[in-house]
Structure 1
């Protein structure tokens, strides 16, 4: 399972000489002592991979008959607590919970739905759907259906199904064909055939889409982004633009999200925690590089100037170095 959530460009790696029983005991002492020893908690949880943290969770439960996440919740508070609990949550369950939060209460957080569903691989999506059902006894599709509508709903459901092609092989003939279909469905007709956009953008692999968008430019003399903006609107438009952005450069898409979460009045911790934790073992190094390229300053420095206390310390450890 872990391999689904581990890439080659993460900032967090397996800790050498790892002992779950030693870590569980040290964590227990850090929580049980007079006043919590946050420094110790941070150094252990940020320096272990998620797979290793899951072994600590098991060990902790076996030794003390308690859920580590419950003890963390009982002892910590605020954004720091959310971040530490996120670190000890299995990735598929973490994403499932983020999706649930995006759909809970009044108003749906469409941005979060879009971000999660466009950036996860098909295999990850299948694992997330399973976790969602296990945790909430409801299918992810049902919840998406009741919280969204129209073409936006259709596209989200297609993504949630995890049917995007994952192969790295590209087919030039198919790219030409798809580009023509997109052109005929949008620029080249009265009214737009939204289903064709959903079908192609939600099912083809990212490398394939990249080629298709090049072909599209040849046919229509326009970038696909401009056509989408001209032809579509609302959350459906946002979703398709996110897919285009991800197919061109996924780390840049997430770097832009981090930039938005960290700038202006108030920090968007929901987004910040999610991206930092969920990408820490996959491609956070690339996201950092894109962030620097885009903003002219490092992700490290942005976190430093925008957060504080133990929360800041933990985020900086996950971030790794300064660029």
Structure 2
């Protein structure tokens, strides 16, 4: 069964001649020896595919009686620890933990909820929902319901419940109809019918949405982004704009997020780690190409100038080459 977490444009592929037992042994030696051998850990964990890392973690636990993530946690620290621990988690569990963290404590980190829920496919979200329930014993929807409110909550729940159509077929007639609905719900009336925006943007497939945006431009003489920005505000506006970006180009969406994480005031290592880990097996090659577009600086050189030490070394390995 093909994993929903593997794409053809990842920088990290299956390692040829892979042996989970041999790698688990090497990882154990790197952790248990006198002083930690960070270089070995980096070489193994950043150069094995997601599925292979899960097998290493299984073998490690069988041999050592402890979970690899726990030994990494007790042996490493800081951003480097967070990165390697993230790499050995199953991707659905990783997303579930990120979502939980975004909703924990006082205040909700909406940008993380938006990033994950806007960009994941329905198949991925089904797995994240299952993982969330397994790890926390309650449903992702319940957490979202208690931590968010209003139309923002409604849209997040559509996405969390994996209701987006995944077919690649597009329907021109439906695109025209949806474009009319969006126009009538926003630009054409006094006040905005947010429900209509939520339904179209959270239920239709990305290829279908791209067709709808073209039709919308014809009717309205402006882009859907401009209408959303003018008609809707707050977290719902941020979420809907993120969905539009992902529908147009998911790699461009992530390149922009990486740019903010690296170039903003102080580096946002948390976002940096999340994107590099979650996209390295899917589409990081395309994200790298998009990253270079506006700035002319490659992701590789941005990481080099903005991070340091073992954390930098591991990120550069995940990034793959320089563009």
TM-score (ref. length: structure 2): 0.99
**What TM-score comes out, normalization by structure 1 length?**
0.99
- Rounded Cα–Cα distance in structure 1 between residues aligned with 2:134 and 2:309: 35
TM superposition shift of 1:187: 0.6
Provide the C-alpha distance between the structure 1 equivalents of 2:265 and 2:227, rounded to a whole number of angstroms: 32
State the partner residue of 1:294: 294
**Could you tell me whether the CA contact under 8 Å between 1:2 and 1:51 is conserved in 2?**
no
Secondary structure of residue in 2 paired with 1:42: helix
Report the Cα offset of residue 265 of structure 1: 2.5
Q: CA RMSD in A?
A: 0.8
Cα offset, 1:156, TM superposition: 0.3
| Structure 2 counterparts to residues 57-68 of structure 1, below 5 A | 57-68=57-68
Q: Which residue of 2 aligns with 1:305?
A: 305
> In structure 2, how many angstroms separate the alpha carbons of the residues matched to 1:73 and 1:203?
39
> Is the counterpart of residue 200 in structure 1 residue 191 in structure 2?
no
Q: Hey, what does 1:182 align to over in structure 2?
A: 182
Residue number in structure 2 paired with 1:106: 106
State the Cα distance separating 1:2 from its structure 2 match.
Answer: 5.8
Residues 102, 110 of structure 1: 8 Å contact kept: yes
Q: Secondary structure at the match of 2:3?
A: helix
**Aligned counterparts of 2:246 and 2:312: Cα–Cα separation in 1:** 28
Q: CA deviation at 1:165?
A: 0.7
- Residues 222 and 172 of structure 1, relative CA distance in 2, 3 Å threshold: same
The aligned counterpart of 1:275 is 275
How many Å separate the matches in 1 of 2:229 and 2:51? Answer: 41
Matched, 1:235 2:235: yes
CA–CA distance in structure 2, aligned partners of residues 241 and 126 of structure 1: 23
Q: In the TM superposition, what are the counterparts of 1:38-117 in structure 2 within 5 Å?
A: 38-117=38-117
Aligned-pair distance for 1:169?
1.1
Distance in 1 (CA, whole Å) between partners of 2:295 and 2:129 is 35
Greater alpha carbon shift after TM alignment, 283-292 vs 213-222: 213-222
CA distance in 2, matches of 1:223, 1:87: 38
1:123 and 1:162 in contact (8 A); partners too: yes
C-alpha deviations, 1:2-32, integer Å up to 9, x for none? 6110000000000111111111111111111
- Aligned mates of 2:234, 2:227 — CA distance in 1: 14
Q: Check the 8 A contact 1:103/1:147 in 2, yes or no.
A: yes
Is 1:156 the equivalent of 2:156? yes
1:76-100 deviation per Cα after TM superposition (whole angstroms, max 9, x unaligned)? 0000000000000000000000001
Q: Secondary structure at the match of 1:24?
A: helix
Give 1:134's aligned residue.
Answer: 134
Q: Tell me what 1:119 maps to.
A: 119
Partner of 1:4: 4
Partner residue, 1:264:
264
Matches within 5 A, 1:215-226: 215-226=215-226
CA deviations over 1:185-205 (Å, ceiling 9, x no partner):
001111111100000000000
Distance 2:60 2:223 in 1: 53
How has the CA–CA distance of structure 1 residues 26 and 49 changed in structure 2, closer, same or farther, with 3 Å as cutoff?
same
Unaligned 5+ segments in structure 2 are: none
CA shift at 1:295, angstroms?
1.7
Give, in whole Å, the separation in 1 of the partners of 2:225 and 2:287.
22
Q: Secondary structure at the match of 1:4?
A: coil
Number of residue pairs the alignment of both structures matches: 323
Structure 1 residues 49-86: Cα deviation after superposition (integer angstroms, max 9, x where no partner): 11011111111111111111110001000000000000
CA contact (8 A) 1:11 1:280 kept: yes
What runs of 5+ residues in structure 1 fail to find an aligned partner?
none
2:13 matched residue in structure 1 = 13
